[in-house]
Amino acid sequence: MDHRDIVYERHGRGDPLVLLHGLGHRRQAWESVLDDLAGRHEVYALDLPGFGDSPGPEPEGPYGIPALVDAVAAWCAAAGLHRPHLAGNSLGGAVALELGARGLAASVTALSPIGFARGAEMLGSRLMVGGMHVATRVPARAWRAVIDSRPVRTLTTLAVHGGLRDSHGGLARLDPAAVTRGSPYTRLAPEVVRYNFTGGPVLTCPATVAWGENDRVLPVRAVRRVLRAIPHAREVRLLGCGHVPMDDDPRAVAHTILSTCLSGAAPRAVAPAAA
């Protein structure tokens, strides 16, 4: 997976902050918080390989969470970003935590990260993956009709936003292109369901785990395992938010990220006082 193919946007000035989206999403997931973040940081919003405008690997190439972590690490090194601040949602949260465990982050903000839910908490995700594999065997025209049906859009909105309306007052919609045989989404989804984060003992940078109280994809009670794995992590509950909290309360998400970055900021030299 060539890191040089990663597409990104850059905004603002200051200490670098890299934003990593979730499974099936793209860099535009962060649009609602960009202005607040770019007021204090040089912000890089990435399309992870295989999503948005970034091409995926070859069908026979490695494509799992370790490969994504390697690709983002290589991209940061090539961009001259030494230990940037990192913030990620869901899959992106796990990538950020893994990079932090490698010592490659000044701070990490993980929003509903994968890798901590267990057993019945993963039921919704497992059903989603199973339904996705069934969908890849359905003719594309029929699948699009199912995606556009009100019941499916209602369930999608409930899963992502934790309520029956999205941030624009309507119903969310899945991307039909994502649910096709061999797509990056269908290749990564089983890895996401199986993945467990194990790097807590070596993650020493400031870290915040923030969870939407209405998250239906990864229930908020999974945060207890994050705090056991990373005892120094700060916990934030995002009231009224679902699995993609940037859509539901961008101001609270921006504040959470900025405060984490502040705790991980490098100390600056202070000029001696005049005699």
Q: What share of the chain has pLDDT > 90, as a percent?
A: 57
Nearest one of 107, 96, 84 to 197, comparing CA atoms = 96
pTM, two decimals, is: 0.83
Q: Convert the pLDDT of each residue in 173-210 to its tens digit.
A: 555 555 666 678 888 888 888 899 999 999 999 999 99
Asked whether 118 and 228 are in contact (CB, 8 A), the reply is no
Is the pLDDT confidence value at 136 over 60? no
Using alpha carbons, list the distances in angstroms from residue 127 to 123, 131, 266. 6, 6, 44
Q: pLDDT tens-digit profile of 12-43? A: 999 999 999 999 889 999 999 999 999 999 99
Q: At residue 244, what is the residue type?
A: V
d(CA 20, CA 48): 7
3-state secondary structure at position 155: helix
Over the stretch 257-269, which tens digit does the pLDDT of each residue have? 999 999 987 654 3
User: What are the structural domains, with CATH classification, of the chain?
Assistant: 3-122+196-263 (3.40.50.1820)
Exposure of 23 by Cβ count < 10 A (0-12 exposed, 13-18 middle, 19+ buried)?
buried
Going 25 to 31 to 36 to 37, the CA torsion angle's sign is positive
What's residue 274's pLDDT? 39
Say if CB 174 and CB 154 are below 8 A apart: no
Check: CB of residue 177 under 8 Å from CB of residue 183.
yes
